[in-house]
Chains A and B, each alone.
Chain A
Amino acid sequence: GESVGLHLPTLSVQEGDNSIINCAYSNSASDYFIWYKQESGKGPQFIIDIRSNMDKRQGQRVTVLLNKTVKHLSLQIAATQPGDSAVYFCAETYSGGGADGLTFGKGTHLIIQP
């Protein structure tokens, strides 16, 4: 079936640099996208979301970009800190189907170098 995927399984960045994590999705019916952060032994933690009627949304140190033309999603983390080390998942769903489950991508492990 259709699924969401990530280009890179591991991303290593220097502390203080900006990080960009990418995600490709293939379900053209998806209209709601979420980024989650998962630390070892914990559940996915909500970071930021975006609906398909937007192409950019900003939070605290994070920005999500959505390009519906090429079905691409990215998460930008500004001034990366050691606490940002985690696995990052993008997830997508179609909001018109009721309480539909999320389809997750494969995850990117973000490693922060001191």
Chain B
Amino acid sequence: KQEVTQIPAALSVPEGENLVLNCSFTDSAIYNLQWFRQDPGKGLTSLLLIQSSQREQTSGRLNASLDKSSGRSTLYIAASQPGDSATYLCAVTDFGNEKLTFGTGTRLTIIP
């Protein structure tokens, strides 16, 4: 059974700093890994999708990496802004049953 873990559960950093969020998963047989952000009471917004054959994806100030063999992914946020404050979740699509398994998320607060 796939298990996805995100540590830390919460993180506060001053505005302007670069930061890294971590995601680990137990079963490397995945199609892909996706990073989402969720604002309070809202749905999820997809940030980046990394296919299992890829090592990283970039979008603006965001960079996500994937090391399938070690079961890890990181989301790097450069030059953080208060608008980046949200909960960040990673999810893997399991090979074979195609459902997404989510981590519990990291609640990020950027301090102005």
Task: Please determine whether chains A and B interact with each other in the same assembly.
Answer: no
